[in-house]
Amino acid sequence: MHPAGAEIMSESGDTRNSRPARSPRTGRPVSPPSRRPGPLVLIGGAEDRTGEARVLREFVRLAGGLKANLVVVTVATEHPGEVGGEYLAAFRRIGCKDVTRLDIPDRAHTTRPETTARLEAATGVFFTGGSQLRITNLLGGSPVDQLLHRRRGEGLVLGGTSAGAAMMSGTMIVGGASESSPRAGVVEVGPGMEFLRGVMVDQHFTRRGRTGRLLAALARYPHLLGVGIDEDTALIADGPAFRVVGSGAVTVIDLGAVTFNNVLELKDNGHLGICGVRMHILPDGFGFHLLDRTPILPAARQT
């Protein structure tokens, strides 16, 4: 959806005579990015904004510390002034002076020069909570969507809380019943913004009892990893792995090796039978390899 260019090496590994990659859309040469993609900071919601604020401080640190240029995007919420104002106050309390609010109430705003100019200048872009469907509906495929993927490839730090975290995945949980056993029809999914591929994200995970609905979603898409993020907790993805920061935990559910899954046999509300599920509970300081699907223990526990 958002390809990045790279040199095509010969079998010997020599790139002197290789041709640069070209855009499949325009056919023009595409230069490889000069920096590695920026980190993604996915927060499970209800993060501390008035106390130590560890999770938000980590987002600011990654985005440049006190020299960060932050843009708080309120597209997910129908109350941008109230919600955006809370995050402006929180980031300023941390010490970030260059932080502004960007409201995108409709798709027409995604084409405005002032909108794209502010995102081009940012070192960190933060999505508030609200409705993840509003994010995908108003931004999906727009100039802002394309800009954010390009800028992240150049090193932009992208963060989001609650709905702003759920939308990061390629296949997104739109809604569904909390505190439910895994049953067919209890969860609705749709396309996300594809910033973090290969996973499906759920938020407010432990507080709202969402294990059942995440399992129900994964039963239909067992190639994906399920990631449930607790409140006041962040999953920070950088390259092929992520680490956990915050007062809760990140739950990883892996159905890749299941031996039985009856989802194709069920009608709505039928109870799922799934055998061979793997689950990892990862608190602060732990991490996870996304490619080989293995946990990373804190350094002190690896000796």
Tokens representing 242? Answer: 């992520």
Residue 208 falls within a domain, yes or no? yes
- φ/ψ of 281, rounded to 5, equals -110, 115
Number of structural domains the chain divides into: 1
Active site residue: 204, 223, 271, 280, which one? 204
Question: How many CB atoms neighbour CB 43 within 10 A?
Answer: 30
Structural domain contains residue 251: yes
The DSSP output letter for 31 is P
- 267 found inside a domain: yes
Q: Does residue 58 carry a catalytic annotation?
A: no
Q: Which residues pair with 101 in a beta bridge?
A: 72
Catalytic residue, candidates 47, 58, 149, 162: 162
Check if 231 is active-site: yes
d(CA 159, CA 264) in angstroms, rounded, equals 35
In a domain, 227, yes or no: yes
pTM for the model stands at 0.88
Is 141 among the domain residues? yes
Q: Spot the catalytic one: 231, 247, 280, 289.
A: 231
Query: CA 67, CA 277: separation in Å to the nearest integer?
Result: 44
Give the bridge partners for 201, in sequence order. 227
Domain annotation covers residue 127: yes
In a domain, 33, yes or no: no
Q: What is the pLDDT along the chain (303 residues), one digit of tens a residue?
A: 443 333 222 233 333 343 445 544 445 454 454 579 999 999 999 999 999 999 999 999 999 999 999 999 999 999 999 999 999 999 999 999 999 999 999 999 999 999 999 999 999 999 999 999 999 999 999 999 999 999 999 999 999 999 999 999 999 999 999 999 999 999 999 999 999 999 999 999 999 999 999 999 999 999 999 999 999 999 999 999 999 999 999 999 999 999 999 999 998 889 999 999 999 999 999 999 999 999 999 987 665
Q: How far apart are CA 291 and CA 225, in angstroms?
A: 10
For residue 3, is it within any domain? no
Q: Residue 280 is part of a domain; what is its CATH number?
A: 3.40.50.880
Domain that holds residue 235: 40-290
120 belongs to the catalytic site: no
Residue 266 burial (C-beta neighbours within 10 Å; 0-12, 13-18, 19+): middle
What are 263-274's pLDDT values in tens digits?
999 988 899 999
Strand positions, DSSP E, the chain: 40-43, 69-73, 98-102, 124-127, 157-161, 171-176, 187-191, 199-202, 225-229, 233-238, 241-246, 249-254, 260-261, 274-275, 278-283, 287-289, 294-296
| d(C-alpha 70, C-alpha 177), whole Å | 34
